Chain A
Amino acid sequence: MKALLRALVTLLVLVAGWQALVWATGLPRYLLPSPLAVADAMQRQAPLLLTHGLTTLAEILIGLVAGVTLGGVSALLLARFRTARRWLMPLLLVSQAIPVFALAPLLVLWLGYGMASKIAMAVLVIYFPVTTALFDGLRRTDPGWLDLARTMGASPAAILWSIRLPAALPAFWSGVRVAAAVAPIGAVIGEWVGSSSGLGYLMLHANARMQIDLLFAAVLVLGLFAVTLYAAVDALARRALPWQPDTQPAEDANP
């Protein structure tokens, strides 16, 4: 509760600073709208923001689920099969050398102006962090556990499933946290390149019409999505790993 209050105070100070900047410089509304003007735009355009927001939210969530699933399965295959490692690892690394955003126009060309190209974009940005996080985790199993499992006559599949995977879950969830943070970026970039709905589309549209207050409102909604998504994933991760101690210094939690 106290942490929330502190965050609110920080936010209030920032907003007050913003308002003060607008007053002090007298910048016109089409360059820097005041917080009040943004709040006003948010209220007036609520139905519009909601429609476009839902499109973007759907893209983010579907992209996140698909990207995390795909990344998780890839990491497991890489860890289990030497052939997969030898043939796919270099490909995976090289694929990351290509900036995913450069592929956005191509995705729109192939998959169209609808949600599919944005979901594909989100999957592309999510896939690598999840795959590498889980694969790294799977590679770093305590050798003692592996020795023990071998003396117990465990098959490689049983070792992967019962020891290496659970041991790698903390690393996997770190990857999912990163994925949750980058998923909105993927979706919005996709929308910028070509779309007929979504918050990214709304931003471009508002920008072209000098409705900067609406642009700000769209950014705020997107920010809200991102923060909520991150908090949800974080809560999920803590639930999934009750045995994983949080070793952050205790004074952080209890002032």
Chain B
Amino acid sequence: MTPLSVTISRARLTYGGTLLFSDLTLELPAGRTTCLLGPSGVGKTTLLRILAGLAEPEPPTQVVTGDGQPLAGRIAYMAQQDLLLPWLTVLDNVLLGDRLRHRRPGPARVEQARALLDRVGLAGRERDRPAALSGGQRQRVALARTLMEDKPLVLMDEPFSALDAITRLRLQETAAETLAGRTVLMVTHDPLEALRIGDRLHVMTGRPAVMGPALEPSGPVPRRVDDPGLLAHQAELLRRLAE
């Protein structure tokens, strides 16, 4: 899967008569992880939903891809809730996309799903139902399901915010390792999370909101929590968020 670059430009959003933003641009370079930070209600989730095809873009919003082809059918989506189906086993949840597209997963696909579960640290749990897993494990299954889709653009909407601090740190590491080399947009509230796994960080603030300049922390991901550079950046991000 060759990575894809995507740009959303001239984005405009009104909600209940209030202008949330207009003429906003967000660039997602190919093969990089872009993190979008901002306070609640600023419209960052809506931007992600427009890219996911879940929200109608308001004119004159434009989504342009690097290869000129439409984005529909080329994204994988991961939400704050794990969205696992409780009546399916862990393995069948990972293979949900195939099932929904009426494709009976062949042995190769099943093997791939098993390998992904192994990669997120859940080998041996294939036959379990989601209810038997902890919150962190369930979100790992959701990550495996997202990777199983194997799409050029991965969209993540606060994927780890419902987890406790330690589980979140571990999952960030798994996510950074497994998502390396893909085009990713992650919406988050958490500056530390963005700094650990993001290549490019944007802060979106104000009403109408403006997109801050990209912050590009140095060093390979996942970055260490006690990295002094990371801590300095965190202070800077918090300051921008509070503006």
Contacts and interface: CB of A to CB of B under 8 A. Distances in A.
B101 A148 contact: no
B83 A142 contact: yes
A149 B86 contact: no
Interface range, A side = 20 to 34
B100 A154 contact: yes
B53 A148 contact: no
A145 B54 contact: no
Interface in A196-252: 241, 243-245
Interface stretch (A30-38, A77-85, A159-167, A172-180): A159-167
B102 A151 contact: no
A166 B85 contact: yes
Interface stretch (B71-79, B204-212, B220-228, B232-240): B71-79
Interface in B59-103: 73, 75-77, 79, 81, 83, 85-87, 96-97, 99-102
A153 interface: yes
A60 B99 CA distance: 38
A182 B133 CA distance: 39
B83 A154 contact: no
Given A147-B77, A148-B79, A151-B53, A158 B102 contact: yes
Contacts of B162: none
B168 interface: no
Contacts of B83: 142, 144-145, 147-148
Given A152-B149, A153-B100, A147 B131 contact: no
7 contacts: A152-B96, A152-B100, A153-B73, A154-B100, A159-B100, A162-B99, A166-B87
Interface of B: 52-54, 73, 75-77, 79, 81, 83, 85-87, 96-97, 99-102, 129, 131, 149, 155
